[in-house]
Structure 1
Amino acid sequence: MDNNLHKYNIKHILIAVVIWEVIFWALLGSFYYYIADKEVLRFENQFFLWGLVIIPLLVMGYFVVLQWKNKTLSQLAPNKLLRYLTTPVSEVKSFFKFFLLRNGLALLIIALANPQYGKSKNKMVAEGIEILIALDISNSMHAMDLDPSRDRLTVAKMSIDRLLHNLHGDKIGILVFAGDAFLQVPLTQDYRAVRMFLQSITPEMMTNQGTSISLAIDKCIENFDMENGVNKAIIVMSDGEDHEGEAEEKAAAAKELGIIVSTVGMGTTNETPIPEYKNGKVIGLKKDYAGNTVFTKLNEDMLRGIANAGGGRYTKAEGNFVNMEELLETIKRLEKTEMESDLYSDFEDQYHWFLALGLILLIGEFFITESRSGVVHKLQDYEI
Structure 2
Amino acid sequence: MLELTWPWFLLLTPLPLAMIFLPKAKPKGNGIWWMHTEQLIHNQDMKAASGRFQLGFLCLALSWVLLVLAMTKPVWLGEPTKVVPSGRDLLIALDLSGSMQVADMALNNQSANRLEAAKSVLSDFIEERRGDRIGIIVFGSKAYLQAPLSFDTKTINQLVQEAQIGFAGEQTAIGDAIGLGIKRLEDKPSDKKVLILMTDGANTAGRVQPEQAATFAASQDVRIHTIGIGADSMLVQSFFGSKVVNPSSDLDETLLKNIAAQTGGEYFRAKSTDDLRAIYQTLDTLEPTPAEDIWQRPLTSLFHWLGLGAIAFLGLALLSNREVIWRKGGSHDAV
Q: Deviations over 1:22-78 (max 9, x none)?
A: xxxxxxxxxxxxxxxxxxxxxxxxxxxxxxxxxxxxxxxxxxxxxxxxxxxxxxxxx
> Cα gap change, 1:337/1:303 in structure 2, threshold over 3 Å: closer, same or farther?
farther
Normalising by structure 2, we get a TM-score of: 0.52
> Cα gap change, 1:296/1:319 in structure 2, threshold over 3 Å: closer, same or farther?
same
Correspondence 1:300 to 2:253: yes
Q: Whole-Å Cα distance in 2 between the matches of residues 312 and 264 of structure 1?
A: 11
Q: Whole-Å Cα distance in 2 between the matches of residues 125 and 320 of structure 1?
A: 30
Instruction: Name the aligned partner's letter for residue 163 of structure 1.
Output: F
Correspondence 1:327 to 2:283: yes
Normalising by structure 1, we get a TM-score of: 0.46
Q: Whole-Å Cα distance in 2 between the matches of residues 227 and 300 of structure 1?
A: 29
Correspondence 1:180 to 2:136: no
Q: Deviations over 1:200-256 (max 9, x none)?
A: 1001322x3210100000011111241566711000010132114721331232122
- Give 1:159 shift: 1.6
Instruction: Name the aligned partner's letter for residue 261 of structure 2.
Output: N
> Cα gap change, 1:337/1:170 in structure 2, threshold over 3 Å: closer, same or farther?
farther
| Aligned equivalent of 2:232 | 269
Q: Whole-Å Cα distance in 2 between the matches of residues 301 and 271 of structure 1?
A: 22
Of 151, 163, 167, the match for 1:205: 167
Q: How does 1:282-301 map to 2 (within 5 A)?
A: 297-301=250-254
CA contact (8 A) 1:269 1:299 kept: no
Q: Point out the structure with max Rg over C-alpha.
A: 2
> Cα gap change, 1:299/1:166 in structure 2, threshold over 3 Å: closer, same or farther?
same
Of 252, 260, 275, the match for 2:215: 252
| Aligned equivalent of 2:271 | 318
CA contact (8 A) 2:191 2:221 kept: no
Of 184, 194, 204, the match for 1:243: 204
> Cα gap change, 1:265/1:229 in structure 2, threshold over 3 Å: closer, same or farther?
closer
Q: Whole-Å Cα distance in 2 between the matches of residues 124 and 315 of structure 1?
A: 32
| Aligned equivalent of 1:218 | 179
- Give 1:328 shift: 2.8
- Give 1:150 shift: 0.7
- Give 1:184 shift: 0.5
| Aligned equivalent of 1:140 | 99
| Aligned equivalent of 1:233 | 194
The total of aligned residue pairs comes to 199
Q: How does 1:101-112 map to 2 (within 5 A)?
A: none
Q: Whole-Å Cα distance in 2 between the matches of residues 226 and 272 of structure 1?
A: 48
Q: Give the secondary-structure state (helix, strand or coil) at the position aligned to 2:178.
A: helix
Correspondence 1:155 to 2:117: yes
- Give 1:137 shift: 0.1
Q: Whole-Å Cα distance in 1 between the matches of residues 167 and 128 of structure 2?
A: 28
- Give 1:261 shift: 0.4
Q: Deviations over 1:103-140 (max 9, x none)?
A: xxxxxxxxxxxxxxxxxxx9967130100000000000
Unaligned 5+ segments in structure 2 are 1-80, 237-246, 299-335
Q: Whole-Å Cα distance in 2 between the matches of residues 338 and 262 of structure 1?
A: 27
Unaligned 5+ segments in structure 1 are 1-121, 274-293, 344-384
Q: Whole-Å Cα distance in 1 between the matches of residues 163 and 268 of structure 2?
A: 22
Instruction: Name the aligned partner's letter for residue 267 of structure 1.
Output: G
CA contact (8 A) 2:96 2:138 kept: yes
Q: Whole-Å Cα distance in 1 between the matches of residues 126 and 191 of structure 2?
A: 19
Q: Whole-Å Cα distance in 2 between the matches of residues 246 and 299 of structure 1?
A: 14
C-alpha RMSD of the superposition: 3.4
Q: How does 1:36-75 map to 2 (within 5 A)?
A: none
> Cα gap change, 1:338/1:224 in structure 2, threshold over 3 Å: closer, same or farther?
farther
Q: Give the secondary-structure state (helix, strand or coil) at the position aligned to 1:203.
A: coil
- Give 1:331 shift: 2.1
> Cα gap change, 1:228/1:297 in structure 2, threshold over 3 Å: closer, same or farther?
closer
